[in-house]
């Protein structure tokens, strides 16, 4: 438990209204994981100086800190336990600078992706990164997990979007490297180690990012495809189109269950075992529609697609995205398992048939559902059964991950390691890498106070 005099010290620093106890936390949404708020104490510093002092107090009393942004982690990265203090970044909510000429912005860690996107819209700019949790996920969380999302095939993951960082270190010092230029070689780029470090090396307070032109006009289709072999051929053709904004894959089961929950669309998805959500941009809505329609026609002629729905307006476009992003399968099969892998695109058909065969052989009652960002080879595999199987993550993981290394893939694409993939990391990563990761942790956080027990 955190000693009461430490809580008093923190209350004195932040103001009592910004130190929440378990009673106040019971009224808060814990986010994706029910254990996120289990620590029972949450502090809300409002700026870097306050956070530095908070970290110093906690370092002195050896109180462990779990930093939280939007609590949308899908790898148990933001969970906490009694005796720890949650540091909520919700009051780091300012866009410090927005520079349309240099196409950069400096954003505080607690700003959500949707809030940033609203601010960028009036300048015809975009972050170049989008994902389903856009309304909750914060810039700090996105950076700390090196998030990917729908546009990574065009603009990269957060590591490629970030130009600089401001970070409060485990001893309370502040490392400020908020560059707003693309070329910057000022010795070792130590600040970049915090991208993807999942709150284990430091607390990110602000991030400077590279912005991209905002695609205004969009045309969207949901197409049905016979199988993954044809889906990969479609992607190969689509990647030659500069108009391509998104190419998201979903299996027929995901589409069917999602459509049951969407009134605006027919209940039966476009024909095919695999569906692709394809989005194009253009210089007008009409031009984007025409380019997309012509491309689909060509794909029909080449017998790569079987069926297609073309969104007629913005409402239908949003409904198509819901078919992709709806958590329909998880609602249908509570207690299922999520795996987040990257597969070089040419290997996807073989990889998926192998995984399906592995699962069938292991336990015929298991069902596989697939959604993902096909254009960059990131697949989210959910393994479900007619009862809760959440205790079986480790038992099933090797069936999903064992061949990935040999084909150049990854067992952890975009959600991070958190607690969920710790054992997979131990199994799949080299001893050399793990030893240097431990050295790095020791270097930045010698007392093991920052998000302890996560990742390593």
Ligand X SMILES: Cc1cc2nc3c(=O)[nH]c(=O)nc-3n(C[C@H](O)[C@H](O)[C@H](O)COP(=O)(O)OP(=O)(O)OC[C@H]3O[C@@H](n4cnc5c(N)ncnc54)[C@H](O)[C@@H]3O)c2cc1C
Q: How far apart are CA 93 and CA 109, in angstroms?
A: 7
Which CB, 149 or 336, lies closer to ligand X? Answer: 149
Among 148, 196, 253, 409, binds ligand X (CB under 6 A): 148
Residue environment code for 342-361, b if the CB has 16+ CB neighbours within 10 A, otherwise e: bbebebbbebbeebbebbee
By the rule CB under 6 A, 204 interacts with ligand X:
yes
Is residue 133 close enough to count as binding ligand X by CB under 6 A?
Answer: yes
Rounded to the nearest whole angstrom, what is the least distance from the CB of residue 306 to ligand X in the complex? 27
Q: CB 287 → ligand X: shortest distance, Å?
A: 28
272: contact with ligand X by CB under 6 A: no
Tell me which of 19, 142, 232, 419 binds ligand X, using CB under 6 A: 142
Axis crossing angle, helix 348-362 with helix 228-238, rounded to the nearest 10: 150
Q: Which is nearer to ligand X, 144 or 400 (CB)?
A: 144
From 135-143, 210-218, 269-277, 426-434, give the range in contact with ligand X by CB under 6 A.
Answer: 135-143
Give whichever of 289 and 380 is closer to ligand X, judged by the CB atom. 380
Measured from the CB atom, the residue of 272 and 336 that comes closer to ligand X is 336
Q: Which residue is nearest to ligand X (CB)?
A: 141
**C-alpha distance from residue 353 to each of 229, 342, 347 (Å):** 10, 15, 10
Least distance CB 274 / ligand X (angstroms) = 19
| Contact map string, positions 61 to 90, toward ligand X, x by CB under 6 A | -----xxxxxxxxx--xx----------x-
Contact range with ligand X by CB under 6 A, out of 119-127, 130-138, 244-252, 358-366 = 130-138
Residue 305, CB-side half-sphere exposure with 13 Å CA sphere: 23
User: For ligand X, which is the closer residue by CB, 131 or 222?
Assistant: 131
Per-residue contact string for residues 396-435; x = within reach of ligand X by CB under 6 A: ------------------xx--------------------
**Cβ atoms within 10 A of the Cβ of 365, count?**
12
The residue (of 86 and 292) whose beta carbon lies closer to ligand X is 86
Residue 144 interacts with ligand X (CB under 6 A)?
yes
- Contact region with ligand X (CB under 6 A), list: 197-205, 231-239, 298-306, 398-406: 197-205
Cβ count within 10 A of residue 230: 21
**C-beta of 295 vs 412, nearer to ligand X:** 412
Does residue 145 bind ligand X (CB under 6 A)?
Answer: yes
Nearest to 248 by CA among 153, 357, 110, 139: 153
Minimum distance of ligand X from residue 290's CB (angstroms): 29
Binding site for ligand X (CB under 6 A): 32, 66-74, 77-78, 89, 109, 131-133, 136-138, 140-142, 144-145, 147-149, 198-199, 203-204, 414-415, 451, 454
């Amino acid at each position: 438990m955190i000693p009461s005099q430490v809580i008093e010290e923190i209350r004195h620093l932040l103001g009592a209204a910004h130190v929440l106890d378990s009673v106040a936390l019971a009224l808060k949404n814990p986010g994706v994981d029910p254990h996120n708020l289990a620590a029972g104490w949450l502090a809300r510093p409002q700026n870097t100086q306050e956070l530095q002092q908070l970290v110093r107090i906690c370092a002195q009393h050896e109180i462990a800190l779990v930093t939280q942004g939007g609590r949308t982690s899908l790898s148990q990265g933001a969970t906490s336990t009694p005796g720890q203090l949650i540091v909520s970044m919700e009051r780091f909510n300012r866009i410090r600078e927005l520079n349309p000429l240099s196409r950069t912005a400096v954003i505080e860690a607690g700003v959500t992706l949707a809030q940033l996107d609203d601010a960028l819209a009036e300048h015809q700019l975009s972050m170049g990164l989008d994902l389903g949790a856009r309304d909750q996920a914060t810039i700090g969380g996105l950076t700390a997990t090196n998030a990917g999302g729908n546009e990574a095939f065009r603009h990269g993951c957060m590591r490629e979007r970030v130009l600089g960082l401001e970070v409060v270190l485990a001893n309370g010092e502040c490392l400020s490297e908020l560059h707003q230029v693309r070329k910057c070689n000022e010795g070792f780029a130590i600040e970049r180690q915090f991208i993807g470090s999942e709150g284990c090396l430091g607390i990110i307070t602000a991030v400077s990012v590279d912005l991209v032109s905002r695609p205004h006009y969009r045309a969207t289709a949901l197409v049905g495809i016979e199988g993954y072999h044809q889906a990969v051929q479609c992607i190969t053709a689509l990647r030659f189109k500069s108009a391509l904004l998104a190419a998201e894959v979903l299996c027929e089961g995901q589409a069917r269950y999602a459509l049951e929950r969407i009134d605006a669309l027919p209940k039966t998805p476009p024909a095919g075992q695999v569906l692709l959500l394809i989005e194009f941009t253009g210089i007008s809505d009409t031009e984007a529609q025409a380019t997309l329609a012509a491309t689909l026609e060509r794909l029909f002629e080449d017998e790569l697609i079987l069926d297609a729905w073309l969104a007629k307006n913005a409402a239908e476009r949003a409904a198509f995205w819901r078919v992709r992003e709806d958590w329909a399968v998880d609602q249908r099969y509570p207690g299922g398992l999520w795996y987040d892998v990257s597969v070089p695109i040419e290997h996807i058909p073989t990889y998926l048939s192998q995984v399906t065969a592995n699962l069938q052989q292991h336990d015929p009652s298991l069902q596989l559902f697939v959604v993902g960002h096909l254009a960059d080879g990131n697949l989210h595999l959910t393994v479900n059964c007619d009862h809760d199987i959440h205790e079986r993550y480790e038992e099933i993981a090797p069936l999903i991950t064992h061949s990935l290394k040999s084909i150049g893939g990854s067992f952890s694409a975009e959600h991070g390691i958190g607690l969920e993939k710790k054992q997979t990391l131990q199994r799949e990563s080299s001893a050399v890498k793990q030893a240097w990761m431990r050295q790095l942790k020791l270097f930045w956080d010698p007392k093991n106070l920052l998000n302890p027990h996560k990742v390593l």
